[in-house]
């Protein structure tokens, strides 16, 4: 059996998991890849003495680039630089690249896929969305006979853990975040998760794949979960919903799309409502297949590493390119402002007199679904009928008495 | 762009769907397959006058077999004969075959995969499990870096529809079956569904793929849902469970497996509990990735057809074989009698005196979870502690007073 040399760039959580899976599963992987896979180099600026494979660490990227025996490179450094430069150089040198780096793919996916296509090598990134859950390859291959028109999901485990603690254990956002940090689910600086940036990168990748043109993070309206209160959780529950952070994208009739990240009220009978803790789920809708949902652990060392290694196996098995993943460059007006499309909104506001406020609300929205008039703090919460978001928001602003208004989307 | 000729054998529900998808999506499919796909022949003994493509029907299989321009053959006739003979002949003639025929794959999968491998062509059957839901390809490719140890799921939409009607609408089994027949979800002779044979074929295919050796239907203990009563549904609900028909297979420490089909009490917080109506879901457990679940419509003309067409696209794109699906032949003692493994059991029985019966039950199982003493009809129902199934059943039989005992598995 032949041996294929690979290099792993980055020995953090995912990188060390990749090396661990490749070494511990070497026999079963060799059968599937039809080659032995040898980790020749591990690139990291830090030292890792005392490991079984400490002798494979290098600090100079050029050793990888200039070694023609390296056919597949794993990029698990994270961040844009130098990941982008290294990946581009590897592809241009005719090496296949597998990465879990969603920031990189969301920013430069179309460009890197194009280079891979020209060089007849693979650029694979299954682990960039949904961690270990198979999502991108099934969408690209198994749903190929469908015209896809909608993709959305719970794409970030950290925020889903926090929201689950708020919903199930009545924890405040701050306490739930602190617990997530204590358990290692959230970073000390949690902004990438709680402000929705991580979900944004993932919906960019999903929308790019499903609808065929690159969606850039700056085209996606992104809102995190920091403003969600326990009152919101309670009102949503009364109305038959749970609050989840959703990445959402939809194909419009004119070929353009919407793409958004926001916390939304998700109906309890929606499949996404039962996705709790650090689990993720991606829903795809196609004209022939209907709804398809992929569910599992969206993060974590070994789940993510196992997805990267599956890509490596695929590359090794098909050194002469499979290229089932591809999409075109995007353009400036491709992502339509979703404020121009129809939706329903949940509204929470402070008021002086709930009875008066209720009358005012029904004055503007005569078919509002009235949820609750809050007790102590004179809050009201209600759900609007369907309408164009921008117009709904104007109407909401025109309701007398409402102060400190908070608005969320509704996903039925 | 080159054109690849394909033949479709069978113009029933799925076959007509395959032709419909290939014709209606021809442009987007050509882009993905990198070839135009031309349906040259449709094999069916019946006449279909008045269709746009009526001129493509043939009645003689040899026209397909002897036409070297036919590179891919779709088998959607169902049943074992002549499907097996035709598929085998096509593979031996160097044609790739795509099928939705679970009966065929469950009976002859290993043999047909071996021929395909020898002839360097593909034998694909994504649609045979889960209809349009991507399941087999993601397991084979995306989870390749895992050692899989458990696979189970709700694999039959008809029985899941019937059970959902019993659970949600308090319909009797007979009424729910009649409704399913009226809606076209169940055949006039519903045995293949309600007696579990369809689920059996699917768990055979899943277990074969996950654990690497062929599992034959006759090796799988198979029990249907015809004995489930509305009392069972009610008692299960009280105890925090819903009743689902489950196909289940697990790898044991010695490399052998268990494989069973049975109605089971599924804990309400289990992801499978929320899978209702005609939807299916498959759960796979791997050592690195943890739990992964695939969910969607498990049957129906267009979902199933779209999965077959995705296989066709894959074949056309890779006429020189990909062969990612494969497993070895099974052997006689490979599937272990699951009565020898640990489980918990739910028990319902008639009694004369519920108080007495309760005392007798606790006399045998001092840590039984006591659910209910039925009202009018002097029934009792309880859940045993974990134990070896055969031993549990002996103990249950030894409990005085219990008559007409009904036993179900418990899946927590």
pLDDT digits (tens, 9 = 90+) for A178-237: 999 999 888 889 999 999 999 999 999 999 999 999 999 999 999 999 999 999 999 999
pTM of the model: 0.93
Instruction: Tally C-beta pairs within 8 A across A and B.
Output: 158
Which residues of chain A neighbour B126 with C-beta distances below 8 Å?
142
Which among B87, B86, B16, B25 has a CA at the least distance from the CA of B53? B16
Q: How far apart are CA B301 and CA B18, in angstroms?
A: 8
Taking residues A116-122, what's their average pLDDT?
Answer: 93
The CATH number of the domain covering residues in B341-411: 3.30.70.920
Say if residue A375's pLDDT is above 70. Answer: no
Task: Give the torsion sign (CA, B331, B333, B338, B339).
Answer: positive
* Partner-chain contact A289 B271, CB within 8 Å: no
* Partner-chain contact B290 A132, CB within 8 Å: yes
Q: Is A310 on the interface with B (CB under 8 A)?
A: yes
Q: Is B124 on the interface with A (CB under 8 A)?
A: no
Q: Copy the structure tokens of residue A98.
A: 């597998």
Q: How far apart are CA B267 and CA B239, in angstroms?
A: 9
Q: Which single residue is written with the structure tokens 């005196």?
A: B353
Say if residue B214's pLDDT is above 80. Answer: yes
Q: Which helix (H) or strand (E) holds A355?
A: helix A354-364
Q: Is B70 on the interface with A (CB under 8 A)?
A: no
DSSP A388-400: EHHHHHHHHHHST
Taking residues A13-32, what's their average pLDDT?
Answer: 95
The number of helix segments (H) and strand segments (E) in chain A equals 14, 18
Confidence grade of residue B325 (pLDDT, cut at 50, 70, 90)? confident
Say if residue B408's pLDDT is above 90. Answer: yes
Q: Cα A252 to chain center, whole Å?
A: 21
Minimal C-alpha gap between B365 and chain A (Å): 34
* Partner-chain contact B141 A302, CB within 8 Å: no
Say if residue A374's pLDDT is above 90. Answer: no
Confidence grade of residue A370 (pLDDT, cut at 50, 70, 90)? confident
* Partner-chain contact B296 A302, CB within 8 Å: no
For A59, other C-beta atoms within 10 Å of its C-beta total 10
Judged by DSSP in three states, A343 sits in: strand
Alpha helices in A240-327 (DSSP H): 301-317
Q: Is B91 on the interface with A (CB under 8 A)?
A: no
Which residues of chain B neighbour A313 with C-beta distances below 8 Å?
144-145
Say if residue B322's pLDDT is above 70. Answer: no
What mean pLDDT value characterizes chain A?
Answer: 94
* Partner-chain contact B310 A21, CB within 8 Å: no
Q: Copy the structure tokens of residue A136.
A: 């991108």
| Domain A338-411 class in CATH | alpha beta
DSSP state of A28: H
Lowest-confidence region among A337-351, A361-375, B52-66, B391-405? A361-375
* Partner-chain contact A137 B138, CB within 8 Å: yes
Which residues of chain B neighbour A147 with C-beta distances below 8 Å?
25, 28
Which residues of chain A neighbour B122 with C-beta distances below 8 Å?
none
Q: Copy the structure tokens of residue A281.
A: 């789920």
Torsions phi, psi for A34 (to 5 deg): 60, 25
Q: Copy the structure tokens of residue B96.
A: 């790739």
Q: Is B78 on the interface with A (CB under 8 A)?
A: no
Q: How far apart are CA B42 and CA A103, in angstroms?
A: 48
Say if residue A247's pLDDT is above 90. Answer: yes
Radius of gyration of chain B (CA): 23
Instruction: Tell me how far apart the terminal alpha carbons of chain A are, to the nearest angstrom.
Output: 53
Q: How far apart are CA A123 and CA A322, in angstroms?
A: 10
Q: Is A406 on the interface with B (CB under 8 A)?
A: no
DSSP state of A335: B
- What per-residue confidence (pLDDT) applies to A369? 86
Taking residues A42-57, what's their average pLDDT?
Answer: 95
Q: How far apart are CA A152 and CA A293, in angstroms?
A: 10
Rounded to whole angstroms, what are the CA distances from A138 to A37, A199, B289? 24, 20, 16
* Partner-chain contact B134 A141, CB within 8 Å: yes
Closest Cβ opposite residue B142 in set A137, A143, A146? A137
Which residues of chain B neighbour A137 with C-beta distances below 8 Å?
137-138, 141-142
* Partner-chain contact A309 B144, CB within 8 Å: yes
- Find, in chain A, the residue whose alpha carbon is nearest to that of B33: A144
- Strand-strand pairing, B221-222 and B148-154: unpaired
Q: Are A379 and A351 in contact (CB under 8 A)?
A: yes
* Partner-chain contact B137 A141, CB within 8 Å: yes
Q: Is A146 on the interface with B (CB under 8 A)?
A: yes
Q: How far apart are CA B21 and CA B2, in angstroms?
A: 20
- What per-residue confidence (pLDDT) applies to B371? 78
**Which residues face B85 on adjacent strands?**
none
Q: What angle do CA A46, B287, B123 make, to 5 degrees?
A: 115
Q: Are B102 and B130 in contact (CB under 8 A)?
A: no
Q: Is B210 on the interface with A (CB under 8 A)?
A: no
- What per-residue confidence (pLDDT) applies to B377? 67
Confidence grade of residue A371 (pLDDT, cut at 50, 70, 90)? confident
Instruction: List the catalytic residue out of A40, A95, A165, A202.
Output: A202
| Superfamily classification of domain B3-128+301-317 | NAD(P)-binding Rossmann-like Domain (3.40.50.720)
Q: Copy the structure tokens of residue B31.
A: 């882009």
**Which residues face A244 on adjacent strands?**
A264
Minimal C-alpha gap between B296 and chain A (Å): 4
Radius of gyration of chain A (CA): 23
Q: What angle do CA B187, B188, B191 make, to 5 degrees?
A: 70
Lowest-confidence region among A319-323, B15-19, B56-60, B126-130? A319-323
Q: How far apart are CA B296 and CA B126, in angstroms?
A: 14
Asked if the ipTM is above 0.95, the reply is no
Which residues of chain B neighbour A328 with C-beta distances below 8 Å?
none
Q: How far apart are CA B116 and CA B321, in angstroms?
A: 9
Torsions phi, psi for A114 (to 5 deg): -65, -45
* Partner-chain contact A137 B133, CB within 8 Å: no
Judged by DSSP in three states, A214 sits in: coil
User: Is A32 considered catalytic here?
Assistant: no
Instruction: List the catalytic residue out of B95, B165, B202, B244.
Output: B202
Judged by DSSP in three states, A267 sits in: strand
Instruction: Tell me how far apart the terminal alpha carbons of chain B are, to the nearest angstrom.
Output: 53
The answer for B6, left when phi > 0, alpha when psi is -120 to 50, beta otherwise, is beta
Alpha helices in A93-229 (DSSP H): 102-119, 136-137, 157-169, 173-182, 191-194, 197-211
Torsions phi, psi for A277 (to 5 deg): 55, -140
- What per-residue confidence (pLDDT) applies to A94? 96
- Between A215 and B366, the higher pLDDT residue: A215
The CATH number of the domain covering residues in A3-129+301-317: 3.40.50.720
Q: How far apart are CA B273 and CA B265, in angstroms?
A: 9
Q: Is B28 on the interface with A (CB under 8 A)?
A: yes
Say if residue B360's pLDDT is above 90. Answer: yes
* Partner-chain contact B25 A142, CB within 8 Å: no
DSSP state of A272: G
Pick the CATH number of B137-297 from 3.30.360.10, 3.40.50.2300, 3.40.50.300, 1.10.4080.10: 3.30.360.10
Q: Is A306 on the interface with B (CB under 8 A)?
A: yes
Torsions phi, psi for B289 (to 5 deg): -85, -20
Which among B60, B66, B67, B25 has a CA at the least distance from the CA of B42? B60
Q: Which of B144, B157, B282, B310 to mutate to test the interface with A (most CBs of A within 10 A)?
A: B144
Rounded to whole angstroms, what are the CA distances from B139 to B37, B50, B335? 27, 42, 21
Closest Cβ opposite residue A290 in set B25, B146, B296? B296
Say if residue B128's pLDDT is above 90. Answer: yes
Q: Copy the structure tokens of residue A75.
A: 């990029």
Per-residue pLDDT reduced to its tens digit, B69-81: 999 999 999 999 9
- What per-residue confidence (pLDDT) applies to B355? 87
Say if residue A376's pLDDT is above 80. Answer: no
DSSP state of A227: T
* Partner-chain contact A303 B289, CB within 8 Å: yes
Confidence grade of residue B23 (pLDDT, cut at 50, 70, 90)? very high
Q: Write down the domain spans for chain A.
A: 3-129+301-317, 136-297, 338-411
Q: Is A291 on the interface with B (CB under 8 A)?
A: yes
Say if residue B320's pLDDT is above 80. Answer: no
Confidence grade of residue B91 (pLDDT, cut at 50, 70, 90)? very high
Taking residues A115-131, what's their average pLDDT?
Answer: 94
DSSP state of A384: P
Q: How far apart are CA A43 and CA A56, in angstroms?
A: 9
* Partner-chain contact A137 B137, CB within 8 Å: yes
Of chain B, the percentage scoring pLDDT greater than 90 comes to: 87
Taking residues B251-264, what's their average pLDDT?
Answer: 96
Q: Is B45 on the interface with A (CB under 8 A)?
A: no
State the SS3 of chain B: CCEEEEEEECCCHHHHHHHHHHHHCHHHHHHHHCCEEEEEEEECCCCCCCCCCHHHEECCHHHHHCCCCEEEEEECCCCCCCHHHHHHHHHHCCCEEEECCHHHHHHHHHHHHHHHHHHCCCEECHHHCCCCCCCHHHHHHCCCCCCEEEEEEECCHHHHHHHHHHHHHCCCHHHHHHHHHHCCCCCCCCHHHHCCHHHHHHHHHHHHHHHCECCCHHHCEECCCCCCCHHHHHHHHHHCEEEEEEEEEEECCCCCEEEEEEEEEEECCCHHHHCCCCEEEEEEEECCCEEEEEEEECCCHHHHHHHHHHHHHHHHHCCCCCCCCCCECCCCCCECCHHHCEECEEEEEECCCHHHHHHHHHHHCCCCEEEEECCCCCEEEEECCCEEHHHHHHHHHHCCCCEEEEEEEEEC
Q: Are A231 and A404 in contact (CB under 8 A)?
A: no
Q: Does domain A136-297 have CATH number 3.40.50.970?
A: no
- What per-residue confidence (pLDDT) applies to A324? 74
- Find, in chain A, the residue whose alpha carbon is nearest to that of B21: A145
Say if residue B314's pLDDT is above 80. Answer: yes
Which residues of chain B neighbour A309 with C-beta distances below 8 Å?
144-145
Q: Which single residue is written with the structure tokens 């103990």?
A: B395
Q: Which of B33, B133, B145 to mutate to test the interface with A (most CBs of A within 10 A)?
A: B145
Confidence grade of residue A321 (pLDDT, cut at 50, 70, 90)? low
- What per-residue confidence (pLDDT) applies to B29? 95
Q: Is A25 on the interface with B (CB under 8 A)?
A: yes
Confidence grade of residue A354 (pLDDT, cut at 50, 70, 90)? confident
Lowest-confidence region among A362-371, B62-71, B386-395? A362-371
Per-residue pLDDT reduced to its tens digit, B145-174: 999 999 999 999 999 999 999 999 999 999
The answer for A67, left when phi > 0, alpha when psi is -120 to 50, beta otherwise, is beta
Q: What angle do CA A95, A101, A104 make, to 5 degrees?
A: 85
Closest Cβ opposite residue A286 in set B126, B139, B306? B306
* Partner-chain contact B144 A314, CB within 8 Å: yes
């Amino acid at each position: 059996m032949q041996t294929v040399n690979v290099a792993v760039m980055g020995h953090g959580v995912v990188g060390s998991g990749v090396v661990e899976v490749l070494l511990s599963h070497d026999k079963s992987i060799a059968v599937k890849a039809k080659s032995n896979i040898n980790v020749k180099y591990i690139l990291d600026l830090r030292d890792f003495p005392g490991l079984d494979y400490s002798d494979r660490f290098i600090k100079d990227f050029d050793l990888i680039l200039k070694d023609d025996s390296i056919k597949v490179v794993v990029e698990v450094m994270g961040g844009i630089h130098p990941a982008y430069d290294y990946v581009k150089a590897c592809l241009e040198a005719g090496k296949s690249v597998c990465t879990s780096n969603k920031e990189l793919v969301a920013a430069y996916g179309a460009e890197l896929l194009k280079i891979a296509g020209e060089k007849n090598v693979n650029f694979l990134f299954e682990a960039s969305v949904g961690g270990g859950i198979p999502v991108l390859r099934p969408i690209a291959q198994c749903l190929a006979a469908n015209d896809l028109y909608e993709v959305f999901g719970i794409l970030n485990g950290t925020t889903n853990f926090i929201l689950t603690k708020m919903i199930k254990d009545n924890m405040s956002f701050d306490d739930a975040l602190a617990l997530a940090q204590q358990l290692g689910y959230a970073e000390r600086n949690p902004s990438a998760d709680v402000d929705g940036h991580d979900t944004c990168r993932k919906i960019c990748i999903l929308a790019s794949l499903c609808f065929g043109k690159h969606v850039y993070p700056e085209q996606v309206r992104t809102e995190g979960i920091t403003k969600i209160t326990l009152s919101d959780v309670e009102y949503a529950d009364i109305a038959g919903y749970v609050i989840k952070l959703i990445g959402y994208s939809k194909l419009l009739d004119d070929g353009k799309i919407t793409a958004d990240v926001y916390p939304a009220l998700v109906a309890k009978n929606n499949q996404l409502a039962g996705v709790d803790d650090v689990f993720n789920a991606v829903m795809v809708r196609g004209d022939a297949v209907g709804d398809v949902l992929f569910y599992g652990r969206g993060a974590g060392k070994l789940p993510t590493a196992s997805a990267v290694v599956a890509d490596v196996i695929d590359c090794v098995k098909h050194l002469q390119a499979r290229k089932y993943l591809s999409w075109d460059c995007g353009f400036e007006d491709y992502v339509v402002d979703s404020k121009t499309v129809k939706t329903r909104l949940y509204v929470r506001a402070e008021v002086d007199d709930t009875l008066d406020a209720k009358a005012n609300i029904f004055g503007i929205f005569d078919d509002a679904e009235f949820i609750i008039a809050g007790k102590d703090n004179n809050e009201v919460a209600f759900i609007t009928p369907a309408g164009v978001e921008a117009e709904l928001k104007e109407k909401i602003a025109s309701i007398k008495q409402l102060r400190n208004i908070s608005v969320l989307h509704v996903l039925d």
